[in-house]
Chains A and B, each alone.
Chain A
Amino acid sequence: MKNKNSQGAQESPSRCPDNSAFKQQKLPAWKPKLTAPTVLSSFFTIGVFCLLVGICLILYARSVKEIQINYSDICLNCSKLRENSSNWDKECNCSVYFTLQENMLGDVFMYYRLQNFYQNHRRYVLSRSDAQLLGQDVNIQNSNCAPFTIYPNGTPMAPCGAIANSMFNDSIQLFYYLNSSTAIKVPLLKSGNSWWSDKNVKFRNPTSYNLSSAFAGTTRPPYWQKPAYLLDEEDERNNGYINDDFIIWMRVSAFPTFRNLYRHLRHTNQFADGLPAGNYTFHITYNFPVTKFKGEKQVVLSTSTWSGGSNLFLGIAYTVSGAVIVLAGFIITAIHLKLRKKKTYFQR
């Protein structure tokens, strides 16, 4: 039998695959196994690491100074006035007094915060035309902007869509009382609040010899008081589609409660280090109606750290999971030492 086989092998080539490591499935391989020392040491390392990071995050979040004032509650007459949309051309101003107990040192940011405003509604998120916001001449009726595309007389809206139409249009100014009689306006910067990529890539003004002629043939959306080329007449680089407030509003938020950066402190004169403790007031021109959808508006003044704002969630989550992992490590060690079976090898 063997002789016949050996003779046959000389005549026809062998059908065995090559004797290479790849084809014989004998590649060098690492076969990790969940052994007790590796698992338990990794549990303790990860647990301690999470605990340390969590405590660090909590300490930094606690060091952030923040003050939040609900002005839709305080400015009740303005809220009621805005409930009726025929009052749109009546101006309503409101002043909110507050006191800072401690200095706010470093970068101070002023946000407006909205509650119960669902910017993450699907039809709302889609209702924009990025091509139009690039300054391109597009037919916005083919975009998702409906019904905020053209007026009955045929003039297209610039910018189109529901997101642009519902832009936040309150204006908030901050005043500091040097003494009980004199109030000075706190210097705040209105540009440099949006992402670089938004300001320089995603939003571009249409080109023409001047901005108002670039927007010729279009008109403002129905809820706006001024057209796009008058959003900031003082700064050409903050006018039209590249206005920072507009860009920030167009970056829709993920949750119904959100804060958008409105201004940040310019470090000049007595505000070189930050906001000193003392009496302040907000002068608000109230335009944005929120009572119809039971929303609320707040102004927030806050400093910031590398870990984000004053939200303690991440720090607490890290600490809790670190503690749970370390505890689990101890429990597993105990179980492993007490209850493991004697090493019974597989008997053939």
Chain B
Amino acid sequence: MDYAKLYEPGQLNLLFNKRKFFICIAHGVYTSFALFFIPYGAFYNTAGEDGKHIADYQSFAVTVATSLVIVVSVQIALDTSYWTAINRFFILGSIAVYFAILFAMHSDGIFVIFPNHFPFVGNARNSLSQISVWLVILLTTVISVMPVITFRFLKEDLNPTLIDQVRKLQKARRKQKPLQNYMCQVSRRSSRRSAYAFSHQEGFGELITSGKNMTMHNSISWIENLRKKTAETVNSFRSDRTVKL
């Protein structure tokens, strides 16, 4: 509940509405054109570096499929803003598994067992060992991803949304936190006051307004309650510090 205003974009349907949907479709159409026409132009009427086939049906398919997987992975990587080890494992793992399955399906062994179902034998080896295929894949990735980065950066720079602003704030605060760490350890005597200032709990408002501390025979228990509360907030505050964000 720190940044309650962040709930607003969801309520106002700002993150997924008709406009965003059509922009998404336009982006998909543009990427599809790039994924087909760049290999088409590069392989039109060409042969490989050793003169042999490069523009055949199956090599073209392998080129387009590989560039598709790489473009989509790069797009996902751009969208991911919180990279834990799990994210890295799954995104890089998906590319690795794609290549593993590709080479498995194009291997000699499986062709001999099922010749009519795996006709792409030898294709992955032959086309992915040509430099021009990799240059085509690289160009397709660059052309598909650069406009996305441009628009995103310009939008974030000129018209930052609430989420962007909060992220900037958190980053700035994280830079100041090491200084506050020292400040907290020094001022241990006035711990009650510092705990109150950075408290993330409800504080003592309820206690005071309930009137429990106004009666005489509850005064001792009130002081003890107060001490327990401040100790708890200071401890929870310290435990927040030790785990890095």
Contacts and interface: CB of A to CB of B under 8 A. Distances in A.
A46 B146 contact: yes
Interface residues of A, number: 79
B44 A31 contact: no
A195 B165 contact: no
B149 A313 contact: no
Contacts of B42: 308, 311, 313-314, 317
Nearest to B162: A346
Contacts of B146: 43, 46, 321, 325, 328
A32 B81 contact: yes
A339 B154 CA distance: 10
A194 interface: yes
Interface string A182-198: 00000000000111111
Contacts of B41: 313-314, 317
Interface in B47-84: 47-61, 81-84
B97 interface: no
By DSSP majority rule, is chain B's interface helix, strand, loop, or mixed?
helix
B153 interface: yes
Given A304-B51, A314-B135, A346-B165, A257 B57 contact: no
B83 A30 contact: yes
Contact of B132 (A43, A259, A308, A345): A308
Nearest to A42: B149
A255 B237 CA distance: 67
Contacts, number: 204
B118 to A, nearest CB: 9
Q: Give the residue among B52, B60, B152, B166 with the most A Cβ atoms within 10 A.
A: B52
Contacts of A53: 135
A314 B125 contact: no
A261 interface: yes
B83 A29 contact: yes
B188 interface: no
30 contacts: A32-B83, A34-B149, A36-B157, A120-B57, A125-B57, A143-B116, A194-B53, A195-B122, A196-B122, A197-B121, A197-B122, A253-B57, A255-B43, A257-B45, A259-B45, A261-B51, A304-B48, A306-B131, A308-B42, A308-B49, A313-B44, A314-B135, A317-B42, A318-B135, A321-B139, A332-B153, A336-B157, A345-B172, A346-B5, A346-B168
10 closest A-B pairs by beta carbon, nearest first, are: A197-B122, A254-B60, A109-B51, A313-B41, A346-B165, A30-B83, A27-B84, A130-B115, A308-B132, A314-B42
Interface of B: 3, 5, 38, 40-61, 81-86, 108, 111-112, 115-116, 119, 121-123, 125-126, 130-132, 135-136, 139, 142-143, 146, 149-150, 152-154, 156-158, 160, 162, 165-169, 171-172, 225, 228-229, 243-245
